[in-house]
Amino acid sequence: MQHLVLLGAGFSRNWGGWVASEAFEYLLGCPEIIADPQLRQLLWTHQLSGGFESALAELQSPGTSYARHPWSESQLLALQGAIGRMFTDMNRAFLDLTDMEFQRQDSQRLIRTFLTRFDAIFTLNQDILLEQFYLVDNIARTAVRPYVPGMRWTPNTEPMYSASLARATWTPRAASEFKLQANSQPFFKLHGSSEWFSDDGNRVLIMGGAKQQEIGRSSILNWYAQQFEAALTQPNCRLMVIGYGFADQHINEAIEKAVTSGLKLFVIDPAGAELAFKLNKTRQRGQFIGPNNLEDMLRASLIGGSRRPLSEIFGSDSAEFNKVMRFFQ
């Protein structure tokens, strides 16, 4: 049986990372936004309909949005700069942490032990939390060896940080070198990372609108998308989803397709199984209640869930921990 995990912003939130609504509030306080009333109004306009990524999408679409509003390239660069600062601040906070454990008495309830149980890790997060505390060689672990397929890392120039994967710069290898390693655990960052750069110096980081098209232009991320779809359709496959709000259409489509082939889901989210209903906008007050693909997909595939934060599951809550571990049975 294949066991996979998909991580979203709600995963990093357990260690202080920001989810989309908090990122919106961070951006409101950035100098670039304070100095530009139009950008500020743009963020507010999209607050309840996609948040800051929807606002970024409007700035990125000159063929449509620019015709309605005279957005300038400088405004796009200003918002991108503010988003870049947000990742820098969030990553700096992760680097200040001692580790990512919620208790240290039971080795089976360590977050690092938990992550080794998966055959592959897929994440939509672009921070360096797991590079700092999981993708490292100087800790005792099982025979599972995590690695980032298709990427090479250049050590930080500071000698004291030369072994740190979190402080390194990452670049894609040549497409001919995109390979999976036997007896190892691949770690796929499906939307790139804040510390990934292409040969021309641009960030390998997907945000805003037209994500699927942007992924198609990146050889490494396009290959990652193919690996995600292929992994989900393996026989007897189970996917644990932690902190992902099902807001990316291309990710949802891959999961929906796999569910028709037998994929089973376990969701860790504050909404638990009710997430299926919260994703159906027709269930809002005053609207006609009708089916939608996400609700139908979760109804068909969900084999369990947890509403509790990871600090409880992997802390002192033995009953919830045992319930989550049923996923691997």
Alpha carbons 137 and 100: distance in angstroms, whole number? 16
* Structure confidence by residue, pLDDT tens digits, 111-152: 999 999 999 999 999 999 999 999 985 444 556 789 999 999
Contact (Cβ atoms closer than 8 angstroms) between residue 213 and residue 202? no
* Structure confidence by residue, pLDDT tens digits, 28-61: 999 999 999 999 999 999 998 888 999 998 888 7
Coil, strand or helix at 218: coil
Alpha carbons 55 and 90: distance in angstroms, whole number? 21
Length of the chain: 329
pTM score of the predicted model:
0.92
Looking at the domain 2-17+103-328, which fold is it? Answer: Rossmann fold (3.40.50)
Sheet holding 203-205, edge to edge: 151-154, 169-172, 192-197, 203-205
Q: What is the mean pLDDT of residues 307-315?
A: 97
Domain layout of the chain by residue ranges? 2-17+103-328, 20-95
Got the DSSP string for 219-277?
Answer: HHHHHHHHHHHHHHTSTTEEEEEES--S--HHHHHHHHHHHTTT-EEEEESTTGGGHHH
